[in-house]
Structure 1
Amino acid sequence: MKKENQTNIATGLTEAEVKQRVENGQVNQTVDNQFKTNGQIIKENVCTYFNLIFLVLAILLLVVGAYRDLTFLPVIILNTIIGIIQEISAKHTLSKLSVMNATEVTVLRDSKKVKIPIEKLVVDDLVILKTGDQIPADAQVVKGNIRVNEALLTGESDEISKDPGSKLMSGSFVVSGEAYAQLEKVGKDSYISKLTMKAKSMGGVEQSEMVRSINGIIKWVGIIIIPLGIALFSLSFFKNHASFAHSIVSMEAAVLGMIPEGLYLLTTVALALSAVRLARKQVMLHDMKSVETLARVNVLCVDKTGTITEPKMAVAKTINSRAFNGQNLDLLIGDFAKNMPADNVTMKAIHAYFKTGSGQKADSVLPFTSVNKFSGVIFGQTTMLIGAPEMILRKQFDQYKDEFEEYAEEGYRVLIVANYPGVLTEDNSKLSKDVSVLGYILLSNPIRKEAKPTFEYFGKQGINIKVISGDNPVTVSRVAGQAGIVGADKYIDAQEIHDGKYE
């Protein structure tokens, strides 16, 4: 499908067209305008109502020469300095956050292929993408075919085929093939830039319940002490006829006792020390008050693969279906593996285990997608499928589930091997007929060594762990149980949720 306003694929943009887009600001440069300047941070920490109260009190004491009563000032100054240092430090840490690793990309301009820095790309540039490249901006394929990994954006490590007309998301990686792509959204308008800027955003709303409560107390105390301070001063100066200096000092002695400046400093120091400890463990904080937000977490959602388990997979064994009486199942799967590229973790595990086949050549292949959850190899008028049982079996699931359910309950990831009576393509991959089940491949994911003690720690802290995974719910439940997650047996299959109700 030809793109509207498509750049000439033979020449790319001309120098004049590039110059025009640069003048229009359509350049692939991200503006970190979500950050406060150091001056703004200092101003926000110095110009607070809390500091204003003590400034007025300090000025009054200076006027009457009561310098010895200014002992509260170091507390206020230290509190302000700690806040400024921590927020500037957080800003500098967040400024280093970047999902884009690429520095240069090959682009077609004035009929020449040149390498330029990604920040000099402009809208409608034709970039030439090949294996190993990171997509620098949102684009559309105009020529060729590539397979991309969008794990940085979606968390799924599946490789997706991109043909002319397909959209490319910035931040994805090209795992195979070569293609020409025309940039559509660059700089701050690209998806990866918006994602990065959102992650870096420091926000302006107070997130700490503890600090917000203390600020609330100070706000009301600050309001109350104004008439109270005037009343105390008037009583001392006009009625008791004390000196002006004595009246100021006695009034401030009474008023200062109402303001919890020590509590404010203690809170700031505790948060700052906690932030330092987390920083040593390479935890990135927006500001020191994030520590309290972390302490208030009561539900933690995690993925299975790569989080509970190691990010690798291995074939444990194969199981023949009762209905299969043909040749050796391992040889059939070997033929499948020989014809299907190892473009994801699952297929790499299958390639590593099934190294021998009968030599049968495929007519075509059906790549894996996260929507279908299966891949296929076409031999004649039959498509051999390997994938998730519930997606391949559909209405036949109850008929075969007793053959493999026990293995899923043992923690294996079960893949079904089946023949579909028809030729499936990427454009027509919907299963409409019953399949002939050949057998099952059992995959195992070793659980991370640190997973169980980590989840036990969270359990002691009263945090509920919820596992959200695209794998078979029985398998996920079993793995979660082995990792020590409380309530792992209480699982829900999202495919059975309809109109907000679980059936």
Structure 2
Amino acid sequence: MSGDERLLMQDVERGLTAAEVAERVANGRTNDVPSRASRSTWDVVRSNVFTRINAIFAVLAVIIFSTGYLLDGLFAGLIVANSVIGIIQELRAKRTLDKLAIVGQVRPRVRRDGKTAEIAPNEVVADDVIEIGPGDQIVVDGEVLEAEAMEVDESLLTGESDLIVKTPGDPVMSGSFVVAGSGAYRATKVGKEAYAAKLAEEAGRFTLVNSELRNGINTILKVITYLLVPAGALSIYNQLSGDQALPDALRGMVAALVPMVPEGLILLTSIAFAVGVVRLGRRQCLVNELPAIEGLARVDVVCADKTGTLTENAMRLTEVRPLSGAGDTDPGVVLAALAVADPRPNASLQAIAEAHPDDPGWRHTAVAPFSSARKWSGASFGEHGNWVLGAPDVLLPADAPERAEAEETGAKGLRVLLLGRAGNAVDAEDAPGQVTPVALVVLEQKIRGDARATLDYFASQGVAVKVISGDNAVSVGAVARSLDLPGADAPVDARTLPDDPEKLADIVENGSVFGRVTPAQKRAMVKALQSRGHTVAMTGDGVNDVLALKDSDIGVAMGAGSPATRSVGQIVLLDNAFATLPHVVGEGRRVIGNIERVANLFLTKTVYSVLLALMVGIPGLIGFDALPYPFLPRHVTIVGWFTIGLPAFVLSLAPNNDRARGGFVGRVMRMAVPAGVVIAVSSFVSYLLVHPGANAGEAAQVQASTTALITLMAIALWVLAIIARPYTWWRLALIVAMIGISALMFLLPLSRKIFLLDPSNLGYTLSGLACAAVGIVLVELGWWIDGWLRQEKRRLTA
């Protein structure tokens, strides 16, 4: 027998020894898959420093520094600022994600040296013996060693929804999960060799892909790119072909090009998401995919499982009610035997085991673990008979009086199970056969203290809540009624739902409470809602929720739920608090609303910069005297600081409870384009009115530039004032501060000297202010008219 063959015949009960584990670690046969949501510090630094925008600014800075006018290169500080801010915020988010990912990660149970212990997934080595049960995820590929009525769902890998029964010798693939039964398997492929390793690695990256907000920004940037090419080329030609000295021409060219680039838009978008991750992390909310923050803010339907979401996962046995079929049988003894027979009891059976801890010593010949699809579990005990425990309305005929009694008890919000003697062995194909009712087992679930407030919040925000549960519909309806959920007085039994997708969509859209829902039906109901244009979030904690969580727009898993559920959830509530969801919605709204405000500022600047470059350059192109660009690079730098940069940073991180709306690109362009056109035309007109001509001295040119700058900054600050609406005290303070600082730039002798400003010509200054006043009126009218045309209520104050 070879060494490998002897290895395969290791003692299954013992597992690997410490020496065997060390040998495999030394040989690199470990599950070395990168951690979720983690990338190296170098990757973070590189992605924030070596960007296209930083490269453009670096080249322009070198050009300016070569002219000797170092102060005109102040915009180069944006390279450092953008990089440092981005790195700090993303490293904060990375640390938060890494810490939470460790808490929320799937921890397989591994046998080593005869003991079973939970370890981190990356500590698994080849040939480890791993125990699995209901809800457990297969973390590495392997071969089944033990199996007791074990059923595995591989639909997340193969797309096939049928459950697969596994027996010793069968293969199991990483990424699949156990639905029922229990067993153990030997790890055969670990690390990057495992089937789902690459999928898991890609799914857990710190990324903004599939974000509607990010996609909208990318669309806008593509349009800007098309505008930058002709405008930039014209600026270069105009400034270098005139009569200016080369250093002055280069300064004008750079001044025209720098403001065309919306340098902070992507940065602030990333920062807003990263700050959201950190804030939610403080609430024990793990965001596996960053767009989920944004996505949940757009959700208009929340499908919530009852158990573990509206009610606490733990249960308490309140009553065992013997029925006429009990005879001399003690139901408590049978329940104790069932609890002992199931190696991985669910919450109901755990509560029964706590109430009946004494093992009667019955030896089981077959076990049928609980399955969400069949709604019952059981065991065969030889001479003691075959016993089942499950839903009365599944195990009994419709006219059974015991079923009616169970319905009446369940209407009070209690969970009622039937203990019955089965006619067939529980592992038979036609199990359980005819069931003789022996007792009703009544369990109590405690409603979460935060459930009502959370449901009220969603109702106030126009978000419909659908309770979708595998429990009895009447019982689920009673719980929902106690929380005042609209529609809870008409619960729907999912067994009556049609298979036709259109009819199903009608019922699900109009109903609120659904009971006896199978895992496949949960998935179908999510798809039905999506087919009607709804954005659907699904919350759950059990293995029966996995498929629906995966197919929903946003999957929210409870931290105490099954490992499989946590692995597919885009958001994991590690403290199991349903009340955390409103905070996630709030973070999403903050990101969406604030980035829209910020985008307006940056794109307005891009529009007026491109148009100014065209208006200055076209006269020289068609034969007129070439105009020098009205601004120096240092001028556009201070405009960027006080009308965009500082206020945009504050606005991007501030609270924002505005409801998320679609049409991000359209709304931004409706504000940015008209405002940009007004600023460009007004500034250009004020510049032409006071321009001294080609033969004027430097002092006259500085006065003309100052006049145009006064016009530009005044209207740009008014645009900021419009975007900051509705006003709160801190927004008004921000606007007043930016106006005050901007005014000081023109009034203080030191700043006038540094930034080459001269407002001393009163006639020029009044001309600039007059042009600004006209521009302000036009921008303000445009904002009100746009609101009137779109029937949107405009508010000045919050």
Fold shared by both chains (TM-score > 0.5): yes
Match of 1:201 among 202, 205, 211: 205
| 1:419 aligned residue | 421
Are the structure 2 counterparts of residues 227 and 52 from structure 1 closer, same or farther at C-alpha, using a change threshold of 3 Å?
farther
| 1:436 aligned residue | 436
Larger Rg: 2
For residues 25-56 of structure 1, give each alpha carbon's deviation from its aligned partner in whole angstroms, at most 9, with x where no partner exists. 7x232232986544343333333333333334
SS of the aligned residue for 2:418 comes to strand
For residues 139-174 of structure 1, give each alpha carbon's deviation from its aligned partner in whole angstroms, at most 9, with x where no partner exists. 44546x7799999x99xxxxxx99745777889999
SS of the aligned residue for 1:442 comes to strand
Residue pairs, 1:95-494, within 5 angstroms: 95=98, 97-98=101-102, 99=105, 101=107, 105-106=111-112, 123=126, 125=127, 127=129, 137-142=140-145, 164-165=168-169, 182-190=186-194, 197=201, 200-203=204-207, 206-239=209-242, 241-261=243-263, 263=265, 266-285=268-287, 291-319=293-321, 324=324, 327=327, 332-342=330-340, 343-353=345-355, 366-370=367-371, 371-372=373-374, 373-376=376-379, 378=381, 380=383, 383-393=386-396, 396-400=397-401, 401-420=403-422, 422-428=423-429, 430-432=431-433, 434-483=434-483, 485-488=485-488, 489=490, 491=492, 493=494
Alignment check: 8 A CA contact 2:109 2:132 kept? no
Distance 2:177 2:265 in 1: 50
What is the number of equivalent residue pairs in this alignment? Answer: 470
Are the structure 2 counterparts of residues 134 and 274 from structure 1 closer, same or farther at C-alpha, using a change threshold of 3 Å?
closer
Are the structure 2 counterparts of residues 178 and 462 from structure 1 closer, same or farther at C-alpha, using a change threshold of 3 Å?
closer
SS of the aligned residue for 1:445 comes to strand
Give the C-alpha shift of residue 102 in structure 1.
6.4
Give the C-alpha shift of residue 387 in structure 1.
0.9
Distance 2:267 2:128 in 1: 56
Alignment check: 8 A CA contact 1:298 1:462 kept? yes
Alignment check: 8 A CA contact 1:366 1:424 kept? no
Alignment check: 8 A CA contact 2:362 2:384 kept? no
Distance 2:336 2:110 in 1: 35
State, as a whole percentage, how many aligned pairs show the same letter.
31
Are the structure 2 counterparts of residues 103 and 477 from structure 1 closer, same or farther at C-alpha, using a change threshold of 3 Å?
closer
Are the structure 2 counterparts of residues 216 and 479 from structure 1 closer, same or farther at C-alpha, using a change threshold of 3 Å?
same
| 1:157 aligned residue | none
The residue type equivalent to 1:385 in the other structure is V
Structure 1-normalised TM-score?
0.72
Give the C-alpha shift of residue 340 in structure 1.
2.2
| 2:674 aligned residue | none
Distance 1:129 1:288 in 2: 32
Alignment check: 8 A CA contact 2:392 2:406 kept? no
| 1:158 aligned residue | none
Alignment check: 8 A CA contact 1:300 1:464 kept? yes
Alignment check: 8 A CA contact 2:240 2:246 kept? yes
The residue type equivalent to 1:412 in the other structure is L
SS of the aligned residue for 1:183 comes to strand
Distance 2:426 2:325 in 1: 28
For residues 387-435 of structure 1, give each alpha carbon's deviation from its aligned partner in whole angstroms, at most 9, with x where no partner exists. 1123312xx1354543332333321112123333x34142446234x43
Are the structure 2 counterparts of residues 478 and 165 from structure 1 closer, same or farther at C-alpha, using a change threshold of 3 Å?
farther
Give the C-alpha shift of residue 453 in structure 1.
1.9
Alignment check: 8 A CA contact 1:315 1:443 kept? yes
Q: Which runs of 5+ in 2 are unaligned?
A: 157-164, 508-798
| 2:768 aligned residue | none
| 2:628 aligned residue | none
Alignment check: 8 A CA contact 1:308 1:483 kept? no
Structure ranking higher in helix proportion: 2
| 2:49 aligned residue | 46
Distance 1:352 1:399 in 2: 30
RMSD (CA atoms) = 5.2
